[in-house]
Structure 1
Amino acid sequence: MNKLILNLLMVSLTISSFGQEETKANLLSSWKNTQLNDSNRAENYFKLISKYYQQEDPSLAKTMADTLYQFTQKKELTDQKTKVELMLGNLEYNNSNIELSLNYYKKALESSESNSDLKNKAKALANIGQIYSLYFKYDKALDYLEKAKKSAKQSKDTSAIAAILMNIGNVYGNKFQFVTSNEYYSQSIELYKALNDEINQAKIYSLIGDNEDRSGNFNKSKKYYFRSLKVFREHNDIQNERQVLFSLSSSYLSQKLYDSCIYYGKIREKIDQKLSPNIYSVTNYYNLSDAYKATGKLKNAFEYLEKATSIESQLQQYNANKKLQNLEIKQIKTKDSLINVAKTYQTNLKHQKEKTTLTFFWALALGVVLLIAFLIFKNVKRKQRKAEEERLKQIEEKEKILKDLELSTIDAMIQGQEKERQKLASDLHDSVGATLSAAKLQFEHLIKDEIDAKMREELIKKTSTLLEDAYVEIRSMAHLKNSGVIAKNGLLPAVIKLAENASGANSLKFEVQSHGLEERIDNSLEISIFRIIQELVTNVIKHSNATKGIIHLTNHEESINIMVEDNGKGFNPNQVTKTKAGMGISSIDKRVEHLDGKMTIESEKLKGTTVIIDIPL
């Protein structure tokens, strides 16, 4: 789900400030000029929104686009209507309103088909395909993307074809079909070479690097990462540069090359200080914390863990402010609507007053008969005014209800945040507080009491163990805050889909065997179990060299049993347990421990591996 880089903003900086304002004023003036034909007015207003507001002020751009959309519908401007529907879809997508975004893209598809607009039809199809990919509906996504490619070829839009091929490659990458994914990436690169577009070539080299890294081909992935990094630095594209640096740092962490992980992670950190932080900034700090912990530098590990949680809280606050801003915009729209109603009412009264005066003069000329007609007319007007006053009163009552509803929504949001803070404070007090208190007592005993060297060494080891426990508890809490919604249709369908997507990677075939999962269990528990299975499957793909894997899921009413086995090369589980790092075992062990579960690893070299996990319900 990558957002567009602010290329339009970079281009606009090369234009003088005076010239920019003049162009903006000219476009706005053209929109307001009712003497121009409707098509030109709509086209100029679309340019004004896309050029000056879509990137700089998305909220205002959304309001302006809504106005233009109503105008194109009223005037039946089909070409401009399609463009505005695509723009509204992009604005809603960037604002994380995925369902609204999909609705606008489907409208754009319908509009483009009605007027045979192949270029915009390709854009609508491609955007719909990307959204279905977000929902893990990969086959449906590929269907729309193939249709988009066909339309783009018919319109001879080389740039669109290249972008669609890249998106198809992304979908196959998500399905763990890395060879097919790289084939589409290669086709896209050839087209971008013909267009002399080095930036998009570099983006695809980075994506190929991701595929090779996920396949365990670390030397190949490093080659592609450095190739893309060189281009981004030559073009001073720090947005894409920091993304590649994150990929490099994460790759080195998975290889246990902690010094290299720290080196590239800290370069990424310097770029983050120049730009706004994002969710990858949080993950980068978690990676640095893990790397420092693995090298024994606990002070640095704590420092970066604190940075990660701090930025994560800032991002959550930003999202909350964004929701409040949207509520304010809705309130302003409601107020504007009421003002328009009042103006219309005043205009109607003015016209009716003129009619009344004219009727009065006719009454003087025509006598008693017309005077009676005039009195009847006045009576009708009195009833109309009364009805209008009642209608305005109803509108005011509806406005009050809307405001109360918005305030209730805000209160609920604040209460939810407060409950989350209270829960975190309670967890810190009950769990981490107790551990640190014990460590404090050990330190006081060391300082105050005279003890022999052997006893002193034993107390130091116990204190170190207590501090390590405190660190693990804080880390677990931080990770729990970052869990998202997965497997919308339930645990079993999500695991089956995961197995289908993982099958085919390195000639590996997965199957799922389940018992007693006809009914869904608690949503948060489903998410945790899915993450555990996902990590185990990734380990099989990257490390086992297996050709077959089986995922067993059994509901024993009082517990859930998970068993993942493969026929790969195997390993010595005692070594893994001692190090508690690498191969995702540490992460899985923490998740299982958090759920009060038990994990057993059975493996022998050349005889495969079986991981058994029991989690109480």
Structure 2
Amino acid sequence: MLTAICHAQDAQLDEVDSLIGERDTEKASQILKKLDSGKLSPPHNARYHYLFGKLEGLKNNADEGFRFFLLARDKYQVLDSVDKAASINLDIIPILTSSKNNDLDPQPFMDEYLDYAREKDDPELLTKAYMQLGAIFISSDVQRTIGYYRQAIRENKKTGDSLMDAKIHHNLGVAFGEMTSEKDSAMHHYELALREYEKRGLSDFIAYIYNNKASVFKQLKQFDSSIFYYKKAEDLAPREYEKENKRFLYTNMAEAYELKGDFENAYKYLKLKNIYSDSIQQSEQNKAMLDIQTKYEVEKKENENLRLKQNRIWLLAALAVLMLILVIVFLAYKNIRSKKAIVEKEVEVQKQKVDKVLKQQELAGIDAMIEGQEKERQRIANDLHDNLGSLLATLKLHFQNMKRKQERPWEEEERLLKQTDELIDEAYQEVRNIAHAKNAGVHAQEGLLPALKNFAGKVSASNKLHIEVEDSGMDDRLENSLEILIFRIIQELITNVIKHAEASEVTIYLTHHGDSINILVEDNGKGFTMSQVKPKEGMGIYSIQKRVEHRGGTVDVESIPERGTSIVINMPIS
């Protein structure tokens, strides 16, 4: 009998979940209101409140959605369903982020979910976490937001979820389109997302893309294109958050017509916008959500106080046991104190020995570097002496021979002049070879980004490895020595890919934000296991780490066999 009841409850809640997915809020609401939550089993009761939270969110009742989500979260915690309780934070965060009330802080919910995702080390969970982090900082620190979204792309690649990839590109489009001047980047990311939405027939998401494109065209003062996309969005009429979406759409259309000078249509859409305006309701929802959060925190505090009172007796008993243990420990401490002093002295001596060894190793490294520089100077000197020196000596003989005022056949004179000319050409080419070997890379007049793109183009010309360079915030030049260091590091990483990775694609991301620069190099090669890489033999990684650490930066290497390798470098620019 009990099994039959549970099965019936499952079927009803599954139907509600399906209706919410189809945006049929009216029918879903009817079924939920008929259910008696008091007669539901604890797991079904928790799911009942969670579905009610989603339903109220779709109906644009943010305060009620927030209240039901908190109730569901507490019920799942009681059931020890940590996964479901943590995932509800992702439903709560967008509600608090979209609110204009600064007292509603989404950060605690974000921190709790991020800790859970990192503990699980699950790429899908980490992708969602970085998506929400990006949304939190989009207004205050857009470069930080873009960084989080790129981390989300990197984690999502491990899952192969094409729809989530489209959503991340959609969010990147919003970040570039609404918060930066890089409108081309925004359109690029919108197109990537739109292709996946159209493939899946997701009309609501397609409408959002049209809205976003229209906004970009409006900022570019291309008002006809802007109005065209707003009308395409209006034709699709998304059912998700219907009132709020229509109010937002008609507000933007009225503004676009006004900027174009078409005041008749501007007035028309302004009237439509007023029909859907609910600023009073939004203010009341914010107040209600703040009240709910306050009550929730108070209730949580009261429960904690109750548990403290219940544990007081146990605490007193534990203190008595602790006192007994402390007496025993004190007596034991007196007995081992002299031994501990001897051990500490031995540790100090050992530490001094280790410091001495490390100092010797450091000096040895410096000597090796100096020795390498001397060898390079010696090599150049040998090249000059053995090759160029012999050429110049031969030239000298030719000139001395030509200076002699003796008569010789015209053919002999012609042959001597030709040989002299060839020797001059050969000497010139030798000088060029030595100079090019010494100075290949970033030139002062060229800059880091053009040099990288030129390097990527030369490597890609082989058609065996395609390299793509993407940048953000790299409009200004860096200090020349730092540009040369970054170019050499990336050049070495690409060399490692060619020699070891068996990859077909490499992507280089350069992001300059604040006082630091972020470098990400990803390939789709065969990867490797870090535990099998010995220090100083790690395909140049050890050398790169030392150079970056010398500049005060960090190097993170992430590689999965048969899944590729990602190397993230963060360095201060000063």
What TM-score results when the alignment is normalised by the length of structure 2?
Answer: 0.43
**Greater C-alpha Rg:** 2
What TM-score results when the alignment is normalised by the length of structure 1?
Answer: 0.40
